[in-house]
Amino acid sequence: MSDQTFSLERVDTPTGAMLIITDDEQRLRALDWEDHEPRMMKLLRRYYGANAVRLCEASRPSAVSRSLAAYFDGDFEAVTNLPIATNGSDFQRTVWDALRRIPAGHSISYGTLAARIGRPTAARAVGLANGANPIAIVVPCHRVIGADASLTGYGGGLDRKRWLLAHESASAAAG
């Protein structure tokens, strides 16, 4: 893959500082917490190549940062239609697309998500794709839980997953 330059933006959120990576068309390429930057960089290398991405500091706030702020203020629709660009496998992109169709305030199991994409026996593969999601919150992998309704792994940590689910449930119930 050819070299690409992406913009890097740092924003404060109620769950900690986040890193936003966008391309020159303002498509979201990656979104993760600052304390998980090594994971985000590993995913960028995996999807774009070892030395294929250069990051430069954003010169002004992006539409993504404004939408993210609105999300944390309780407007979950603000991130729903943000343009994204991911370089995962076809299967991963299918899973990530299905994640974007889970409404805020709802959660489903890995098995249910696998069935929704027409692969009912692929719950484990869905879990792996979920874990390789480079775009937290906007591609809401935090809405996937265990079959027994337990909170299972989350790239941002289980405390953040718990917080995001409670935030969405409380705001959805109040709205």
Contact between 133 and 139 under an 8 Å Cβ cutoff? The reply is yes
Angle 103-104-107 from CA coordinates, rounded to 5°: 75
* Annotated catalytic residue within 11, 28, 43, 141: 141
Q: Is 141 a catalytic residue?
A: yes
Residue 18's φ and ψ, nearest 5 degrees, are: -120, 155
Give how far the C-alpha of residue 104 lies from the chain's centroid of Cα atoms, to the nearest Å.
13
CA distances from 41 to 17, 19, 104, 107 (A): 16, 11, 27, 28
Residues classed as catalytic:
141
